[in-house]
């Protein structure tokens, strides 16, 4: 079997979460991209970035959903730094995420060899089955070493808006978190 990292002429990393607005490595080029068969969902607990072990936040992963398409951003890796960047991302995404090698559709329809990191159902931080209201509450209340969980959500919402990518899951969650923040501000002021 072909070793994609070693042998493919080009290699792209697919960003569907924080990578969209904060790419953390040098890339040669970036392009709007699509990953078929997956949907972006806030169903992974975050103990080390947007929450703590005592109060984990929620961050996105990709759920396999037949017929679905996840829109995001793909980054072409410089060949000389491939290994260094992939090792860096392995380390950063260690809270339950693993590599997924997959063809990506970039720009106007070119298919390129790619990979991304996803948290699968079998990992201990997997939290599928929570209602939108429960997830919104957890996001509204969680903070971690990388900042407030709500900022992660709002930055994702803004980045998707800027790219004209509609995502009802992200926009409905953002609305609920804004509403909860407003309610908690009012109750603190007027209790």
As a whole number of angstroms, the distance between CA 81 and CA 89 comes to 12
Residue 158 CB contacts under 8 Å (≥ 6 apart), including other chains: 21
**Residue linked to tokens 């007027």:** 190
Residue 78 CB contacts under 8 Å (≥ 6 apart), including other chains: 26, 27, 28
Say whether 175 is catalytic. Answer: no
- Residue 34 has which token pair? 């699509």
What minimum distance in Å lies between the beta carbon of 170 and ligand BEZ? 13
The 81-100 contact track toward ligand BEZ, x by CB under 6 A, reads --------x---x-------
Catalytic residue among 7, 10, 28, 93: 93
The 99-138 contact track toward ligand BEZ, x by CB under 6 A, reads -----------------xx---------------------
- Pick from 17, 51, 114, 144 the residue near ligand BEZ by CB under 6 A: 17
Q: Is 142:57 a contact under the CB 8 Å cutoff?
A: yes
- Pick from 11, 12, 18, 63 the residue near ligand BEZ by CB under 6 A: 18
- Residues with a catalytic annotation lie at 93
């Amino acid at each position: 079997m072909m070793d994609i990292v070693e042998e493919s002429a080009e290699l792209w990393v697919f960003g569907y979460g924080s990578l969209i607005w904060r790419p953390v490595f040098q890339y040669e080029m970036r392009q709007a991209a699509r990953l078929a068969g997956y949907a972006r969902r806030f169903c992974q607990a975050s103990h080390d970035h947007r929450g703590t072990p005592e109060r984990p936040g929620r961050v996105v992963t990709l759920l396999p959903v037949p017929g679905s398409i996840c829109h995001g951003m793909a980054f072409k890796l410089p060949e000389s730094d491939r290994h260094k960047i992939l090792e860096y991302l392995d380390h950063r995404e260690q809270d339950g995420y693993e590599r997924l090698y997959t063809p990506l559709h970039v720009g106007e329809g070119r298919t390129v060899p790619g990979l991304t990191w996803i948290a699968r159902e079998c990992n201990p931080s997997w939290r599928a089955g929570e209602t939108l209201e429960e997830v919104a509450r957890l996001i509204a209340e969680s903070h971690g070493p990388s900042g407030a969980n709500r900022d992660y959500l709002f930055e994702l919402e803004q980045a998707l808006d800027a790219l004209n990518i509609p995502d009802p899951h992200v926009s409905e969650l953002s609305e609920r978190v804004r509403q909860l923040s407003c309610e908690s501000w009012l109750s603190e002021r007027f209790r």
